[in-house]
Chain A
Amino acid sequence: MQAETVVERVRLVYASDHARLWRSIYAFSGSREVADEAVAEAFAQALRRGDELRDVAAWVWRSAFAIARGELQRRRSTSNDVGDSSFEDGDHGELAAVLARLGALSPEDRELLVLCHVGGWKPGELAAVLDQPAGRIRVRLHRATERARRILEDDR
């Protein structure tokens, strides 16, 4: 595949997915810095891989979350803070409240809810991104939603 074609292919995914992906990583990590880094690096790696990738969008989404997970873990392992300091990002108002609720979820639940409700993925579509059966994703999503609802009720 010609380099121009590779760039155009990734560019098309960037145009359609970048904003959603960045918001999703931001929601997942609670950090604009992590979102900037993870999303840019995932797209850059996609460009470098050229035509190795058959499904650029799925690859970029999966890679960005993997990078973000790694960074969150690194921050936890190098920080003395017990809590997740990423969720102290200077946002205010409604968004800060939403970020706080997200921070109370497990990373697995948070990722799944964010992919669905910020990323706009349907459970059936997520099978390709998460490499899990759609049925399992639906069950996980159901349980994550229930836990999120309990967190919200506890807040009230």
Chain B
Amino acid sequence: MVWVSRRAWRRFRGDRLGFAGGVSLGLIGVTMILLLPFSTSWFNVQDLHGAVRANPTIAMPTSYDVYSVSLSESLLGSRFVGFGSMMHSVAGVFGFDDLGRSVFFRVGLGWVISMMIGAGAAVMATVIGVGWGTVSGLAGGAIDQLMMRIVDILYGLPYVLFVVLLRVVLADPMTDWLGGRSQLAGVVLVVLAIGSVSWLTMARVVRGQVLSLKTQGFVEAASANGAGSVRIMVRHIFPNVVGVVIVYASLIVPQAILQESFLSFLGIGIQSPLPSLGTLASDGVNAVNAFVGFWWLIVFPCGMLFTTLLAMNFLGDGLRDAFDPRGKCGMVGSG
């Protein structure tokens, strides 16, 4: 196992695009997490003294006091009041939106929320997909046939309809369940809705792996020694599918982020005032009519979305080539 992953790491190091994707994703991530105390306290602060939808600027925001107060009140930010005055001056670098809020800090928080949605959906899809694929592969026979037919059928269905339905239908029950926190319920629901339709490829891939592992000597040996199917699954199958699972999970994340942006554009994604890269991009698209160019409302969120998704796709493809050299399905394609 260790030997396999070392070889995979070496292959990954040789893949310049994948490596660059990983590094840039890491850099963006660290920056966004460092900004988090400020973006959580300031993403909703309105600077109404300046012009609404003001241009990008590096001057101090005018409602200086509001920023300081809301930083000291916030849970995360209270320790950072000292840096606050320094951070004030960057509030305007990406301009202000139609409610006079700093686009910079909204993008900062939106990135983190988008990433949480992507990761949450990927985790959910992984749990369902790995479970489904493992059971199907181990059981074999009629059960395997039935489970894989179900996956085939679900592949062909208009899953967007179900994402919309799940998101809408479960909104009230989920809000009640979370004690009336409708903002949180919105985020959880988007994760649930996207996660519950993204596990199909994972199930297929895992089943394939399990089928090929099942016939190998060490599994037969374990079974001959009297290990039960649960033990075989946990001790012998799971450790050997981890690599492939990580690869496909890493490819679900960017897809989930894109899905969320579609939901946001249709008005059923993350509810305002919480930002996500998807809501910011769709707000930008709606605000920019071609006659008045509020370009910063669209360029910065979309640039962030583009860079992040690109880096993630490169990283995911790089990982896939490293772990699974024969599964040539990369974005750039391996020759």
A, B from the same assembly: no
Residues of B participating in the A interface, judged by any CB pair closer than 8 Å: none
